[in-house]
Amino acid sequence: MSTLSVSSDAELIIARERVELLRAEITRHNHRYYVLDAPEISDAEYDALFRELKRLETAFPELASADSPTQTVGAAPGRTFAVVEHRLRMLSLGNAFNAEELLAWRQRAADLLDREEWTFVTEPKIDGLAIALVYERGCLVRAATRGDGRAGEDVTANLRAIDSIPNELWGNPPPLFEVRGEVYMPKAGFDAMNANIAALNEERQAEGRAALTLYANPRNAAAGSVRQKDPSVTASRPLNIGIYQLGWCDDAPTPDSHWETLGWLAEFGLPTTPEVARHDGIDDALATCEAWNQRRDAQVFEMDGVVVKVDDLNLQADLGIVGREPRWAIAWKFPPQEASTVVEQILVNVGRTGSINPYARLRPVRVGGVEVKNATLHNLDDIRRKDIREGDTVVIRRAGEVIPQVVRPVLERRKDSAEWEMPSVCPGTTCGELDCANEHCGGDRGRLDICEGAWCGAPVSRQDDDVDFYCSNRHCPAIVQRALEHFASRGAMDIRGLGEKLIKLLLREGAIRDPADIYTLPDRLEALARIPGLGQVKRRKGEDLYEVGDRLRNLAEAIRWSKTRGLAHLLVGLGIRHVGSENATLLADEFGSLDAILLAPREALAAVEGVGPIIAESIVDWALDGENWSLAHRLQTAGVEDEIQRVAGAPAETPLEGLRFVLTGRFGAITRPQAEAQLKALGAGIGSSVSKNTTALFAGEAAGSKRKKAESLKLPIWDEHRLIDGLANPATILDWLAESEPSNAD
């Protein structure tokens, strides 16, 4: 595949399909990791998917999207707690997996700063749950999870119950400020808690009660403990916190370096990350990272790497942020742990787009304290490249989570075996039972005929050099199932209670066929109650009576509520290729109704900023399909909200519409985020880097490489005085631009 920005149509088609699959898979894993606290894959495998996606988006810039996982953080907050908007976005970190990548990161920073020497800080990267704490007049007033970086869950009551988090600070802290840290569970506390749960389960078993679930690892235990509904449960868990950063601070002077900031925060009684170190150069920082790898197992907490940061906060401001990651920090990731086991079977499942995805069922093995049973095998080419076969002893690698990466087979232990072949026909859905008779389902073949999956049997093929195989049947039971799961998911129509198992049951019983059928369910509760497992059964005079219970009533209410989710969520739920939450919102705001979007010509769709020709083509293709039009009409008939209810009144004034500004350096009278927010409110776009599309640069003190780039492009460069004047009177900005030669501030 080409790594050039100019690519052939064939390469672009292949890359587009792969990018779509990667985005969907990464988004699903983000939800399982950040919201459900139940990850399916290892850190190493997730990192590989993420790096492949970034590599493709770099090689094919036309596939870039604002709602890609490479541009977003974590996952949207759940519904158990109130949602809290973060005043400043909580970010993620880029990764370095070896010395070359760490040194390359440092060189990129040196090029941007136009300097070679500065100090660094290293911190152990504790594997826990990222938290933001707000203190007002020395008292803890709010605690929130990171969520998607812009908004998280309000867990104030629970974090107040953790002994290591001070509710009141010492000394003379600022009147209002935020700190960020990692809530974690020490390894000894985790082991003791799981031992207590195991002992309690013996008592519950003796009483005939269901067993409680053991936690997989300290990270999941910490996240699950923080998200308890009852703060007393959180208080009973052995939790700790390491504060690693000052988020923001009002009306108080702050130190000039990260190192000094951590010491300043510790003076108020805040427990900062242990074993932080300061280094004069990158070589010393690298040596510390490599030393950590040798002693990480001896630490009281789980850690998956070392964070390396630029120490000088002014240099941090100059380096800025790209996408979801700061340029001034990076995570040095430890090599994953390895073990060996046997591939008992190679099986496949079917994705929402019809992709046939192979995976390995492993002989259970414990790696890093966690039992693993399955591993994704990506595609047939990857299986061929690694020469993985059923019955092979293989080396697996994991970095703290459940499903490992299959690294290679141990050929010395291979018995007589044949290469694995992709099924020639699609298996449809699977029930997942170990003793299922369906040979495609993954059980011990032929033992019991209990398969609850739905057979497809359509031909499987791939086109040209595509790495993935696809089912040719658009009505494949697996594709239908996945489409319904997507429609009901939190990012789309958010129908609580309508999950994978219930959808499979309703499909098997013929109760639904597509998303529109979901909205007929509230009128059929009595019939649904007769389906085993859905209704309440009471026996009277030798006869079974089926009654509508809370489960069905709650489901009906969730379905009715979902009708009001709005046009953008409906667009996401329809599953139109390439249409995610970000561009769905842009389309909804621009056109106002589903009919207007589906009837719009390609040119009008592509003209919407953030949409472009690829998404426009996908929408038009979807709308030209008669079955899709029928689905849209039936959803409208069911009363699903498909128009934006625009509020009457004077439109917002956006005098700077169409202009794009970049801010750099330090400002005294206003913070950079505040200025950017006000410029956006006036209709302007904000860029993270200077380019020929930049209208002007607002440069504060110590402006670095961005100023030089603006000078080379002969762009207007304005100082803080003009920034303040322009925000107060936006018309003056237009006057400045109208001048034949805009005056540059020194």
Cβ pair 551, 569 in contact under 8 A: no
In the residue annotation, 125 being an active-site residue is answered as yes
Helix (H, G, I), strand (E, B) or coil at 299: coil
Please state which of the ranges 30-44, 158-172, 222-236, 319-333 shows the lowest mean pLDDT.
Answer: 30-44
Those residues whose C-beta lies under 8 Å from the C-beta of residue 163, and which sit 6 or more positions away, are 235
Name the residue with higher pLDDT: 99 or 704: 99
Q: Is the pLDDT assigned to residue 47 strictly greater than 60?
A: yes
Q: Is the pLDDT assigned to residue 5 strictly greater than 70?
A: no
Pick the CATH number of 567-637 from 1.10.150.20, 1.25.40.10, 2.60.40.10, 3.40.50.300: 1.10.150.20
CATH superfamily of 9-63: Helix hairpin bin (1.10.287.610)
* Residue 627 exposed, middle or buried by CB count within 10 Å (0-12, 13-18, 19+): exposed
Give the pLDDT band of residue 650 (cuts 50, 70, 90): very low
**Which residue type sits at 237?**
R
- Kindly report, residue by residue over 557-599, the tens digit of the pLDDT: 999 999 988 899 999 999 998 888 878 888 988 888 999 999 9
Name the residue with higher pLDDT: 115 or 539: 115
Looking at the domain covering 83-333, what would its CATH class be? alpha beta
Please state which of the ranges 27-31, 126-130, 142-146, 179-183 shows the lowest mean pLDDT.
Answer: 27-31
Give the pLDDT band of residue 740 (cuts 50, 70, 90): very low
Mean pLDDT of all residues in 640-651: 67
Instruction: Evaluate whether the domain defined by 477-518+520-562 bears CATH number 3.60.21.70.
Output: no
Tokens 């699959």, residue located: 21
CATH superfamily of 660-738: BRCT domain (3.40.50.10190)
Q: Is the pLDDT assigned to residue 268 strictly greater than 50?
A: yes
pLDDT averaged over every residue in the chain:
84
Domain residue limits, the chain: 9-63, 83-333, 477-518+520-562, 567-637, 660-738
The string of DSSP codes covering 9-66 is HHHHHHHHHHHHHHHHHHHHHHIIIIISS---B-HHHHHHHHHHHHHHHHH-GGG--T
Give the pLDDT band of residue 377 (cuts 50, 70, 90): confident
Compute the distance between CA of residue 240 and CA of residue 273 in angstroms, rounded to an integer: 10
- Kindly report, residue by residue over 109-129, the tens digit of the pLDDT: 999 999 989 999 999 999 899
**The pLDDT of residue 6:** 45
Alpha carbon of 198 to those of 204, 215, 222, 225, 235: distances in Å? 10, 11, 18, 17, 20
Domains 83-333 and 477-518+520-562 share a fold: no
Share of the chain above pLDDT 70, in %: 87
Q: Is the pLDDT assigned to residue 548 strictly greater than 90?
A: no
Cβ pair 662, 687 in contact under 8 A: yes
- Marked catalytic residue, from 54, 125, 333, 386: 125
**The pLDDT of residue 488:** 93
Q: How does strand 94-96 pair with strand 329-333?
A: parallel
Q: Is the pLDDT assigned to residue 77 strictly greater than 70?
A: no
Q: List the one residue out of 700, 603, 593 whose CA is nearest residue 640.
A: 593
- Answer yes or no: pTM beyond 0.85: no
Residue 705 is classified by DSSP as H
